[in-house]
Structure formats: structure tokens, C-alpha cells
Amino acid sequence: MPRAADLVFPRRERVEDRRRDAGQRKLLDEFFDHGTLLAVSRLANQGLFDVVDHPISSGKEGGVFRASKGTEFRAVKIYRISNTVFRHLPPYALDELRREASARNYGGLVFAWTRREHTILGRLTDAGVRVPRPIGHYRNVLVMEYIGTAEGAAPRLKDVPVDDPATLYEQLVGEFGRMIRQARLVHGDLSPYNTLYHDGHVVVIDVAQSVRAEHPEARRLLERDLQNFSRFLGRLGYDVEPAEFLRAVGGETVGPPHEGA
């Protein structure tokens, strides 16, 4: 059985560039503390992946890494165990987590957040929404479907030249509509920055802060998500009013049920 540290950025995967190698060592120090290395080792021993190849993206809250499983790839998302993850979360998202862990227990909150994202990805997958399929999780490590090719991960929508914004709009209506009508969820923080574009289609990511469609904040959050994409589509030369967008996705069913309904 390989040592836990040997599962991350094995030397055969590294390019012969000292600056990149130094950057990978820095990421090892930042993300792969002892507990995270043990979590990675456990998931690898369960057969979810063989090795973690290299980073895809990183931020203050965590990072996403490509992993190999035979000739296939996986995406491994690792949350940092610190209060940074929750510093900018709205109260409604923190309220959901406090049911599972103490607000003072950052580790417990991070584990609950990881578990929540895995659960919501599964719910969206079952509803037919294009998201990375969840594969497994443990502690602060989430394993999911890799969106991309051997040459690289799928880009964010904001970084892609869009030739047919009308088709993009129809795709967005379809994905948001399934999210609302079938999964009964509202993303709450959706924009071209956290939507991928792969094989000519949008893929929704970063779903942990999603709320139930009946949540008191759901309608406001949905309207904000749709306004983000209305502005984006407008910059592409395709104008759609947020109210029209809302009707198209079934937004009238979002929000607390009316009394007497």
C-alpha cells in the first residue's frame, strides 16, 4: 500500500519546470495537511482514484485537483479546514450547517459542507441537471466526475467565446428549469464564473449553498441568479428580460407556499 503522500502529485506526472514544481510543493503544504492526506489515502484505498495528478484551480476556500483512475479522470475537491470557508457565507447557508455542527467547530462545519455538496450533486444528477456526478467523500475531500479532457479541464463559461447566445439561453432555461421543477432547488450563487462549458453545453458547479425551492430566500436568490445571466447574455447581444427568464424556468413555483394553498 503506498504512503499517503505518494498519492499526491507523483513525480512521473510532473513537468520538468522548477517553477511549476515549486508551485506544486506550495499547494501540497497549503492543502494536504496530515488529516487531508489520510482522507485522500482512504478514498484511494476505496478505489475512487489511484493518484492525484495536478491542480485544476484553487482559491481561499479550497481547491480542485485532477486525479487518475486507470485511464479515466476524477475531480477531487478539497476544502481548507478554517473559518475562511464560511466568512462570506450568507446566514441562510450557515443555518443549514449549524444543524449538523457547532459554529465554533470549523472542522465539523467543513465536513458538513463537503457532505452537503455531495448530497446536492446527487440530487441534481437524479433530476437530470448537468453537474459533476458525485462519486464519494470523506472529511473535507469530495470526489466527483471530471469535466474536461486529457488536455485540460473544461473552462468557465465566462472564458468561452459564445457564437450562439440563443442556444445558450435555451440550455440555461433547461438546466435551471430542471433544478427548480425536478430537484426543487435554487442554486443561490450562480453566474458565468461558476458554470463550466464542455462539449457545447453548460455544466453547473459549486452547489453546496443551494436552498430548497420553498425556502423564504429562494425567490430572491433565483432572481439574482437569473439577473446575472441576463446581463451576461445581454453582453453577448441577446437581450432577455429577467421576468421573462423567471417565467421560462418555472420561477413562479419558487418561494414559501401561500397560506391556504
Active-site entry in 21, 53, 199, 206: 206
Confirm whether 239 is a catalytic residue: no
- Give the total residue count for the chain: 261
Active-site entry in 159, 164, 189, 199: 189
Confirm whether 206 is a catalytic residue: yes
Q: Maximum distance among all alpha carbons in the chain?
A: 68
Q: How far apart are the first and last CA of the chain?
A: 59
For residue 128, which of 171, 79, 183 has the smallest C-alpha distance? 183
The DSSP string of 37-98 is: HHHHHHHHHTTS-SEEEEEEEE-SSEEEEEEEETTEEEEEEEE-SSGGGGTT--HHHHHHHH
CA distance 77 to 129: 20
Positions marked catalytic: 189, 206
